[in-house]
Amino acid sequence: MTSLDPVSAVNLTNCDRELIHIPGSVQAHGFLLVFARSAEDRLIVVQASENAAEWLRVSLNQIIGGSCANLLGEQLSSELRAEFHSRPDSRSSHYLRSMQLASGEQVELITHSLGERLVVEFERAEEHVSPARLNKTIVNVVAQLETIHDIGELARTITAEIHALTGFDRVLLYSFDEEGHGTVVAENNGGKLPGMLHLHFPATDIPKQARHLYLLNRLRIIPDVDYEPSPLIAADGSDEPLDMTYCVLRSVSPVHREYMRNMGTAASMSFSVVVEGKLWGMISCHHATPLSVPYVVRSGCDVLTRIVAAQISAYDRAANFAEAIRLKAVERDLLTYMTLEEKYVDGLTNHPDKVMELARATGAAFVLDDTCLLMGETPNEAGVRLIADWLRNTGRPDLFATDHLSSHLSAAEGFLDTASGLLAISLSQVHRFQILWFRPEMIRTVHWAGEPRKRVSEVGGTIRIDPRHSFEGWSELVRQRSEAWSAVEIEAARDFRNAMLFIVLRRAEELADMAAELEFTNKELEAFSYSVSHDLRAPFRHISGFAELLLIDESDKLTDKGKRYIEKITQSAQFAGVLVDSLLNFSQIARTKLTLRAVEMEPLVREVWDDVVSQEMRGREIEFTCGHLPLVEGDVNLLRQVWRNLLSNAAKYTSKRDLARIEVNAHRDQQQYIFSVRDNGAGFDNRYAHKLFGAFQRLHRIEEFEGTGIGLANVRRIIARHGGQTWAEGKLNAGAVFFFSMPIPENL
């Protein structure tokens, strides 16, 4: 036969890796048999705890491989076969009944099945407890629920009832936080053990595999911490180590037993408080001396614990539902503000209090491409940009939340007073649009049940981690953390992001439809203007030509007044011809395919300026300066038109100055170059600057300065096709500055 005890050599160095679900042994207050079905449907023992021989008063050789009928009688064998058939692979313990062994010992039978194995535990029966008393306790607790309205009062009630039912010296109810640390929220103490109300227990006290076990099997009992484990025995090579997850008698880790001794506890019992499938907390019972609790009492306590879990779930759901409704109303208001504004972002920035209320934040920030808008208490703009860049560059998800930002971003230690906590959403990975909510540092004192860090010691050359020896109050000042973001607040931010995406997409669809309509209309207008201007050129030439012939051939027959009329006709026809040519050029600009290449702006400007001087500024006193102009990528012929229009305009509107001053400059602004043409000419009223670049728009009478009103419209159209913008600034009789931007080329 083979012993199946895989943890006999545990040395506390690997608590988180200890296989506590297969300890390979049972506690001493009972024994365990594992049955398999034979071909004749008989139950045969394939594993047994070593102490079964003592309990059954037969040798282990007779037990292993023996039949249930021979060992325990035909009646029990029949009941167990029925149990096996009715609850295959049940993976949860089931109370069968009590029985008296041949030795006269009374035991309780608890079963569960694992695949092709039936596990039967025989636990020593304790004194009989009246079911009526248990029922009365449960009924009283349920009745009290109608008057209990918070978790604190509920916790105090349940610990008092379990203390009365079980007789344990100390009964605690503690809850777990997101990091797994436990806090005692209620205690009922008979005075024999130290009080622990409001103390904290570190997550390391309950390793992660133990937490998983508590979810699967909600009850754990240790009647005597100093029990002698009884190993499981199987026929050689006949079985794998038994998974004892659902066993009542499962032996516990040596680490935990040492922990109990350090705590001064000789017996313990615990019930898992499972809420919404998660381990919300534990009801933990401690006794200074060994103590056994009858199965029926444990079952009653388990029922009470499940009632408490259901009530906590109801409280949480009600609170979360109320908060979700409140935040949904805030979201609705914000979305309404967005839809009412031409720029939907203005709907948010104009209502900062609502934006912060959505996440119960003390500050918020919007980062939109190169714009950063702050509201409430936030880091300065540089700090906000640092956080936003970190979120973007480290591939954080579209929604990120933490109450300990400095643990992720060390630079955040510089603004703990405004941004210890961060909740952020991102709406686009292409065009930056991030919303960040902030919470300040919340300094608090945590009272631990003993110093939470485990000690490391060396025993026989082996380094081991010791369970804590002291549970006296130990205080720690917790810093660099904010109030944690609740699940409801995080979900509200997620919902808001999705709603904003819907609005943005809907607005984008509307703009796309408008753009398509405008594109179609523009194409029709361009085709129409091209056709009209082309067809009008000949008539205007004819009018001008025949008027000139009339002056030459019939001059002697015309009066002076008639000659003036014909001169006016000639001038108007010529101007109309120029206007038609300009209109034709304007329509052709949109139809011309761009031929992009590297363009040296400075030589181009000087070339165009020489042409302007020779054609339009002979005999005038001029002071012209051209700063260093960068290399750009563009269509050189179209850019030549831009400079021709701007420099010709500067020459025209400085014509009444004794000394004309014209300056051309450029500078870099982030990812673009800004070019400017400044003059000291007639200027304009800056209130009408937005009209300058429209077709046929003039801010001066034609009698003062001639022109068609098409030149600046051509400039805007050409620059727009190069991905830039145009604008102007001026003051009447004090000159003007015309600007245009060009993207900085990536490959030049």
DSSP string, 562-597: HHHHHHHHHHHHHHHHHHHHHHHHHHHHHHSPP--E
CA separation for the pair 215, 715 (Å, rounded) = 72
pLDDT of residue 385: 93
User: Using 50, 70 and 90 to split pLDDT, how confident is the model at 452?
Assistant: low
63-76 pLDDT, tens per residue? 999 999 999 999 99
Average pLDDT for 546-552: 72
User: Using 50, 70 and 90 to split pLDDT, how confident is the model at 507?
Assistant: low
Average pLDDT for 170-197: 90
**95, 297 contact by CB (below 8 A):** no
Q: How many CA atoms lie within 13 A of 268 on its CB side?
A: 21
SS3 at position 490: helix
pLDDT of residue 78: 92
Average pLDDT for 519-546: 63
Token pair belonging to 130: 């009246």
pLDDT at residue 535 greater than cutoff 70: no
CB neighbourhood size of 613 (10 A): 15
pLDDT of residue 492: 92
pLDDT of residue 12: 40
660-671 pLDDT, tens per residue? 899 999 999 888
pLDDT at residue 213 greater than cutoff 90: no
Contacts of 85 (CB under 8 A, 6+ apart): none
192-203 pLDDT, tens per residue? 999 888 888 888
Q: Please tell me which residue, 481 or 378, carries the higher pLDDT value.
A: 378
CA separation for the pair 141, 284 (Å, rounded) = 19
CA torsion angle 516 517 521 523 (round to 10): 10
pLDDT of residue 339: 80
- pLDDT-above-70 percentage for the chain: 80
Average pLDDT, the chain: 82
User: Using 50, 70 and 90 to split pLDDT, how confident is the model at 703?
Assistant: very low
Average pLDDT for 40-61: 92
Sheet order of strands, 433-439 included: 371-376, 363-368, 433-439, 421-428, 399-402
pLDDT of residue 155: 92
339-349 pLDDT, tens per residue? 888 777 888 88
Helix axes 151-166, 131-144, angle to 10 degrees: 170
Give per-residue burial for 470-495: e unless 16+ CB within 10 Å, then b. ebeebeeeeebbbebbbebbbebbee
pLDDT at residue 204 greater than cutoff 90: no
Q: Which of 345, 335, 337, 422 is nearest to 387 (CA)?
A: 422
Backbone angles phi, psi at 428, to 5 degrees: -155, 140
**528, 583 contact by CB (below 8 A):** no
pLDDT of residue 700: 45
pLDDT of residue 172: 94
Q: How many CA atoms lie within 13 A of 421 on its CB side?
A: 23
How distant is the alpha carbon of residue 705 from its chain centre? 61
User: Using 50, 70 and 90 to split pLDDT, how confident is the model at 7?
Assistant: very low
CA separation for the pair 243, 465 (Å, rounded) = 26
pLDDT of residue 254: 87
Average pLDDT for 445-458: 55
- Of 86-95, 194-203, 213-222, 519-528, minimum mean pLDDT range: 519-528
- Of 144-158, 255-269, 541-555, 620-634, minimum mean pLDDT range: 541-555
How far the first Cα of the chain sits from its last, in Å, is 82
CA torsion angle 296 298 301 306 (round to 10): -100
pLDDT at residue 516 greater than cutoff 70: no
- Of 175-179, 208-212, 412-416, 428-432, minimum mean pLDDT range: 428-432
Beta bridge partners of 662: 624, 679
**462, 451 contact by CB (below 8 A):** no
282-321 pLDDT, tens per residue? 999 999 999 999 888 898 899 889 989 998 898 888 888 8
Q: Which domains does the chain have, with CATH numbers?
A: 2-7+15-124 (3.30.450.20), 486-590 (1.10.287), 592-743 (3.30.565.10)
112-138 pLDDT, tens per residue? 988 888 999 999 998 766 777 778 878
Report for 234-248, 467-481, 631-645: range of highest mean pLDDT = 631-645
CA torsion angle 683 688 690 691 (round to 10): -90
CA separation for the pair 520, 577 (Å, rounded) = 28
Token pair belonging to 561: 């007044």
Q: What is the pTM of this model?
A: 0.62
346-373 pLDDT, tens per residue? 888 899 999 999 999 999 999 988 889 9
**144, 138 contact by CB (below 8 A):** no
Q: Which of 160, 161, 205, 210 is nearest to 183 (CA)?
A: 205
CA separation for the pair 297, 440 (Å, rounded) = 48
pLDDT of residue 4: 45
